[in-house]
Chains A and B, each alone.
Chain A
Amino acid sequence: MQNTKLYKNNLYKVMSNSISFSSLSCPMPKFDFDTINMGHGSGGILTHQLLNSGVFSILQNDMLNQKHDGAIFTANGKLAFSTDSYVIHPLFFPGGNIGELAVNGTVNDLAMCGAMAKYLSLSFIIEEGLAMKEFWEILVSIKKACDKANVQVVTGDTKVVEKGKGDKIFINTSGIGIMHPHANIALSNIKEGDAVILSGYIADHGVCIMSKREGLEFETDVKSDTVNLNFTIEHLLNEFGNEIHFLRDATRGGVASVLNEIAKDGNLGVDILEKEIPVKPQVSGACEMLGLDPLYVANEGKFMMVVDAAKTQDVLNALRKDTNGTDATIIGHITKEHIGQVILQSRIGGKRVVNMLPGEQLPRIC
């Protein structure tokens, strides 16, 4: 009885604490606990406290407020469905945190299919001991990222695992998006002579994360490029529709992995020019210091497009007008020669094959 009362009181306390998302900061309501423990994943009172005072209060919308086992909605037409899990360390980094990454990542995966994200599911696997303050900060970022991308979290789940069985918090998001009526994105649409466009400076996210890892800390002003790309893609599809043959965001595995997917899965050859690939000097310097190749380093706000040769310049001009594509370049072309291989022409004019990465990119000794 006492517990129920506490639960109700707490809920009331939080509900009465009005939250304004129009303001930049979002103060954390007062909780009865500072850290998340196993009880918060038990399905009992503590779970309800965590959800009602935390997740539901901040992410509320009509569908989530139903507190059903799932979301019920009507949808018409062609849909896309995608999922991704986020296990990043550290959780907070210059330019963002795991929360907005989890929203942007799935929104972008849908965008690359030619779909505009509408609904997300959101699942947390929390390691006991996570500070409520950190969880709150992540929730606020999720909310802000959802608002920015015009997407709603409509269902979710929270589990807590014992200390040592996780890494503070893992997040999974799945998303449903509505296909753009003009989108026709498929490897099979790519043809010889098509141009490969890269949307901007590469390797910022990966270098930023590495600069904050224990044992590797180095000073840099590089920030993660995490951003939602759905509106950028929507505008391009509005204007160019099926002249855009293929889209993919260059996340894990970087630009090199996307190019290899095009070459190997599409049974095509890809020629690229090293001098056209934008890398900031500080990112390039950090990669050299760490013995890494920026072509394989992760991005969270960059994508690649394969477009019809005749429309290349128009697409590039349009993309450059978008804040997510101001530094876009044409990095190469599709060829019927050297099928299955990506060949890079180096700055000095030599050529080499850019292969898939075998496992994790390990830093060179010297």
Chain B
Amino acid sequence: MKYLSEYRDADVVNKYLDELHEITTKPWTIMEVCGGQTHSLVKNGIIGLLPKNITMVHGPGCPVCVTPLQLIDKAVYLAEVQKVILCSYGDMLRVPGSKKSLLEAKANGADVRILYSPLEAVKLASENPDKEVVFFAVGFETTAPANALSVLHAQRQGITNYSILTSHVLVPPAIDALASDEANVVQGFLAAGHVCTIMGISEYYPLVEKYKMPIVVTGFEPVDLMQGITMLIKQLENGEYKLQNQYSRVVQPEGNKDARSVIEQVFEVREREWRGIGTIPISGYEVKPEMKNFDANVKFNIQIEAQPNNNECIAGEILRGIKKPMECPQFGKKCTPLHPIGAPMVSSEGACAAYYHFANINAEHETV
């Protein structure tokens, strides 16, 4: 398979591993921001192959994990009380709200559907004119164009029974918040390749300068990750801090202008709460006031109060890299993928679930 099998080649991975073992002389702590990268690192067993003095910290880049409790409660409310057809990406369904998850609401009779594309939800709305259809628009910059496009499609087709419940977060403000944290332990970042495919790479230059920290825009296949980690460690070992683009076969420096234009027509940047981390300024997308007819918050005048997060969950410390999933007293005991206390245990991109699924929870080391 062109552009896929080459990036899963064991020989190429080993070449980078050899280089990495050769150049790594000091202990380094680096973070992959994106949950897709966490998933790939653990699925392919990469962490166990790295030199022992490289510590990978799994960042907050799992959109499911950082979606606030209040938004899950809102989605459940729309499905149960407003009787809408609530459409969502699959892994949002198991995330616990303050009382229940969407999966539990579905089992109780709410019309909750798993879709792969928000455009399917628009189709559903046109096929069910007597029902309201809401798409739970979750994600980083990556899914924002498709979610925004669904609104433009509905508007163009005159569909009035479609709206979105937005939970969009942005990567650069999150890196800014993490790097400026007094407890920060991270010395370099792997930035998410697909986010940069949309947004370009210019937003990362100021971060590199401000924190004098290397950032490498990186892809998701084993060879991508190994090359990205090697590029980052090389910079750290040489005392350099630059923005580099490992994923140049996909990421253009200017990003995808058309996709960004779609985002700008529907969304505006606002302050946003990140589950487990807190509120970060200018770190999320909300539907613009002029598009309010497609904003489920406005349309259904949702009044759901924020509930406190479960204080047994240390997701905040895990997502900031201060603690490892195994350092949580509940990990694998009270908190499992079947009964998650916190969101990172839900999505397979979540740091806790990734460790639970793919790492040896009984072993002393991170991976077997």
User: A and B bound?
Assistant: yes
Which residues of A are at the interface with B, using a C-beta cutoff of 8 A?
215-216, 281, 285, 290-291, 338, 341, 343-353, 355, 358-359, 362-366
Q: What's the Cα separation between A216 and B116 when bound, in Å?
A: 7
B46: A residues at CB distance < 8 A: 348, 350
Q: Which segment, of B71-79, B138-146, B292-300, faces chain A?
A: B138-146
In the assembled complex, 29 residue pairs joining A and B whose CB atoms fall closer than 8 Å, in A order, are: A215-B113, A215-B116, A215-B120, A290-B116, A341-B360, A341-B362, A345-B45, A347-B44, A348-B10, A348-B45, A348-B222, A349-B14, A349-B49, A350-B45, A350-B46, A350-B47, A350-B367, A352-B43, A352-B358, A353-B358, A353-B359, A355-B356, A355-B358, A363-B89, A364-B89, A365-B89, A366-B36, A366-B139, A366-B143
- Residue contact B359 to A365, C-beta cutoff 8 Å: no
| CB atoms of B94 and A365 under 8 A apart | no
| Inter-chain contacts of A290 with B (CB < 8 A) | 116
B139 touches A365 (CB 8 A): yes
Interface flag for B348 (CB, 8 Å): yes
Given A215-B120, A348-B13, are A363 and B45 also a contact pair (CB < 8 Å)?
A: no
The answer on a CB contact under 8 Å between A363 and B39 is: no
Q: Report the bound CA distance from A2 to B14 in whole Å.
A: 83
Question: Given the complex of chains A and B, what is the CA–CA distance between A358 and B194 in angstroms?
Answer: 28
Residue of A nearest to B194 (CB): A366
B357 and A353 contact, CB distance less than 8 A: yes
Is the pair B48, A365 in contact by a Cβ cutoff of 8 Å?
no
Complex Cα gap A296–B50 (Å): 28
Q: What residues on A are CB-neighbors of B47 within 8 Å?
A: 350
B148 contacts partner chain A, Cβ-Cβ < 8 Å: no
Asked whether A365 and B44 contact (CB < 8 A) given A216-B116, A359-B94, the answer is: no
Contact partners of A347 in chain B: CB under 8 A: 8, 10, 44, 222
The reply to whether B90 and A364 form a contact with Cβ atoms under 8 Å apart is: yes
B336, closest chain A residue (CB): A358
Residues of B within 8 A of A358 (CB): 336-338
Interface centre among A216, A281, A346, A348 (most CB of B within 10 A): A348
Across the interface, name the chain A residue whose C-beta is closest to B36.
Answer: A366
Residue of B nearest to A289 (CB): B116
> How far, in angstroms, from A344 to B222 measured CA to CA in the complex?
16
Q: Which residue on B lies nearest to A290, using beta carbons? A: B116
Task: Please report the C-alpha to C-alpha distance between residue A181 and residue B163 in the assembled complex, in whole angstroms.
Answer: 64
Asked whether A350 and B116 contact (CB < 8 A) given A358-B337, A366-B139, the answer is no
Residues of B within 8 A of A215 (CB): 113-116, 120, 124
For the complex, give the distance between the alpha carbons of A4 and B93 in Å: 54
CA–CA, A365 to B337, complex, Å?
A: 16
Are A362 and B358 in touch, CB under 8 angstroms? no
Residues of A within 8 A of B139 (CB): 365-366
Please tell me if the beta carbons of A350 and B93 are within 8 angstroms of each other in the complex. no
**Would A365 and B49 count as touching, CB distance under 8 A?**
no
Residue of A nearest to B1 (CB): A281
Q: Is the CB of B142 within 8 A of A366?
A: yes
Q: How distant is the Cα of A305 from the Cα of B140 in the complex, in angstroms?
A: 44
Beta-carbon contact of B368 and A362 below 8 Å: no
Query: Which chain B residues (286-344) contact chain A, with CB distance < 8 Å?
Result: 336-338
**Of the residues A285, A353, A365, contact of B92 by C-beta under 8 Å:** A365
- Binary CB contact string for chain B from 123 to 154 against chain A (1 if under 8 A, 0 otherwise): 01000000000000011101100000000000
User: CB distance B113 to A364 under 8 Å?
Assistant: no
A358 to B337 Cα, complex, angstroms: 6
Taking the complex as formed, is B349 at the interface, i.e. its CB lies under 8 A from any CB of chain A? yes
Bound complex: CA of A345 vs CA of B9, how far in Å?
Answer: 14
CB pair B357–A355 under 8 Å, yes or no, is: yes
- Given A353-B360, A355-B358: 12 more A-B contacts, CB < 8 Å: A215-B114, A345-B45, A347-B44, A348-B222, A350-B44, A353-B368, A355-B357, A358-B337, A362-B93, A364-B89, A365-B139, A365-B349
- Of A338, A345, A362, A363, most buried by chain B (CB within 10 Å of CB) is A362
Q: Nearest CB to that of A340 among chain B residues? A: B362
Cβ contacts under 8 Å, A216 to chain B: 116
Query: Smallest CB–CB gap between B312 and chain A, Å?
Result: 19
A346 to B40, CA, bound (A): 11
The residues of B that contact A346 with a CB separation of less than 8 Å are 43-45, 222
Contact with A along B192-206 (1 / 0, CB 8 A): 001000000000000
Q: Which residues of A contact B14 (CB under 8 A)?
A: 348-349
Would you give the shortest CB distance from A352 to chain B, in whole angstroms? 4
B190 within 8 A of A: no
Cα distance A285–B338 when bound, in Å? 27
Q: Is B347 engaged at the interface, CB distance under 8 Å to the other chain? A: yes
| Any A CB within 8 A of the CB of B42 | yes
Q: Is B10's CB under 8 angstroms from A352's CB?
A: no
Q: For B359, list chain A residues within 8 Å (CB).
A: 352-353
